[in-house]
Amino acid sequence: MSSLPDVATWIREQLPTLAEKYGVPGAAVAVLAGDQVVEAATGVLSTATEVTATTDSLFQIGSVTKLWTSTLVMQLVDEGRVDLEAPVRTWLPEFRVADEAAAAAITVRHLLDHTSGFEGDIFTDTGTGDDCLERFIEVLADVPQLFPPGERFSYNNAGYCVLGRLVEVLRGKTYDQCLRDHLFTPLGLTHAATGPYEAILYRVAVGHIETGPGAGYEPAPVWALARSNAPAGSMLAMRPADLIAFARMHLGDGKAADGTQVLAPGTAARMHEKQVELPYLGVMGTSWGLGFERFDRPGAEGGELIGHDGNTIGQAAFLRMVPLAGVAVALLTNGGDAAMLYRDVVDHVLTELTGSGLPPLPTPPAEPARIDASRFVGTYSAQVADLTVSQDEDGRIWMLQTPRGIFEDLGERPERKELLAYREDSLIPAEPSQGLYIPHVFLGDDGQGRALYLHVGRAIRRA
């Protein structure tokens, strides 16, 4: 294994080359090993302005925000003000989804580990006022229940907005202010912004998106998603070093660098522990904790790997932590093939500092079997997309993804791709998307021998 200075030299030499290789306009990275932190940055914050990306630049962290929200909730658990096993309605009696029995049964733990069961990609904009989360809760009243609470994992953005509202009610202040008072301040953060009005005071990255296949990446016309989705990851921006300060607290049994006890002893470890298994999705965790994504690495020398990813409008964030080794790495980007940059940079860092890198990625079989796909054929529908699976006369399997809602508004177009037989009850795309092959898992039974859910991180129910 290498020393941290050796890793720092490699990053500073290779990051510019790799960012250019993957078409990433700007990137910044920070690595923690023990008590030492190294940083690097490359590229520009916007191709329109060509302002240089530095280690003091802010990037959006997207859904990595969920770790901050779960930490705010666990502080309340530490104080004895929240019980993980109690229904959410204990503190939010107005909480409703379409299934009344489910709404009454959903607990705080169900929300934290994504097992609440209601459809979670709800991005309704309820305004920029301090009441936006309160109003967002009202929007959920008609949201369908996909499965009984606790039955399975299905990634749920809206559930984290409910948790953000829970924090607001018990603290008596906005979610943004809770972040500042209970995390930014005790962690000593100086460059963290809860929205655009704060971010503009710093060097801040703009996301870059493709306007069409092969058209290249251009600055996104919108900087952030709705404030009502802030606890799920729509706005929070910071430097990689600030994200590392958060990770260091989690690796240090809840203590900030200056010794401030942000979480009670033992609470961070509880958050990292396995709560629910996932079907094999390849690019997501193999299990989930209380907010934390968990990755199996069979035979890994460095111990368990935990963290979270984040994606907003043209920005992508990656946080990985190896608690046993005291190592963390944060990579923030503003466009391009960010996932492959992550694979190259973070895999190298983890291998050099812990002896084990990232889990291998799934790939299609060299000679896929021809199968009867009748169990899979049909349309699976969610708020953001319809996924229609079909099989042609030659036995080839196809999926048409038609965007709906916010994704349609953002200009996404229908996409058709071929799927191949992969594992039992699982198909995999014949061609990669941004370098990745994401397995499509078919679960359950609709009573007619057909799959009830198509699972791609979210359990999408047969229409």
Domain count, the chain: 2
Statement to judge: residues 353 and 452 lie in one domain: no
In angstroms, the CA 167 to CA 65 distance is 14
Query: For residue range 223-281, what is the model confidence (pLDDT) as tens digits?
Result: 999 999 999 999 999 999 999 999 999 999 999 999 999 999 999 999 999 999 999 99
What is the reported pLDDT for 7? Answer: 97
Query: For residue range 364-385, what is the model confidence (pLDDT) as tens digits?
Result: 999 999 999 999 999 999 988 9
Statement to judge: residues 334 and 448 lie in one domain: no
Q: Which of 75, 69, 71 is nearest to 264 (CA)?
A: 75
**Catalytic residue chosen out of the listed positions 63, 154, 381, 426:** 63
The predicted model gives 404-409 an average pLDDT of 74
In angstroms, the CA 24 to CA 216 distance is 11
Domain boundary among 306, 333, 361: 361
What is the reported pLDDT for 300? Answer: 72
Q: Residue 334 sits in a domain of what CATH number?
A: 3.40.710.10
Tell me which DSSP letter residue 50 carries: -
Residue 84 falls within a domain, yes or no? yes
The predicted model gives 28-37 an average pLDDT of 97
Residue 367 falls within a domain, yes or no? no
Residue 11 falls within a domain, yes or no? yes
The predicted model gives 92-118 an average pLDDT of 98
Residue 371 falls within a domain, yes or no? no
In angstroms, the CA 146 to CA 299 distance is 36
pTM score, two decimals? 0.96
Q: What percent of the chain has pLDDT over 70?
A: 98
What is the reported pLDDT for 408? Answer: 72
Statement to judge: residues 348 and 436 lie in one domain: no
The predicted model gives 158-178 an average pLDDT of 98
Query: For residue range 291-330, what is the model confidence (pLDDT) as tens digits?
Result: 999 998 877 777 789 999 999 999 999 999 999 999 999 9
In angstroms, the CA 335 to CA 434 distance is 11
Q: What percent of the chain has pLDDT over 90?
A: 92
Three-state secondary structure call for residue 304: coil
Statement to judge: residues 347 and 387 lie in one domain: no
pLDDT at 1 over 80: no
Statement to judge: residues 135 and 196 lie in one domain: yes
70 is catalytic: no
The predicted model gives 78-101 an average pLDDT of 98
What is the reported pLDDT for 2? Answer: 85
Q: Assign 418 a pLDDT band (cuts: 50, 70, 90).
A: very high
Rounded to the nearest integer, the mean pLDDT of the chain is 95
Statement to judge: residues 142 and 218 lie in one domain: yes
What is the reported pLDDT for 437? Answer: 95
In angstroms, the CA 363 to CA 282 distance is 9
What is the reported pLDDT for 410? Answer: 66
Give me the domain span that covers residue 390.
Answer: 378-461
Statement to judge: residues 395 and 331 lie in one domain: no
Statement to judge: residues 352 and 394 lie in one domain: no
Query: What element of type H or E holds 354?
Result: helix 338-354
Query: What's the CA dihedral at 171, 167, 144, 461 to 10 degrees?
Result: 180
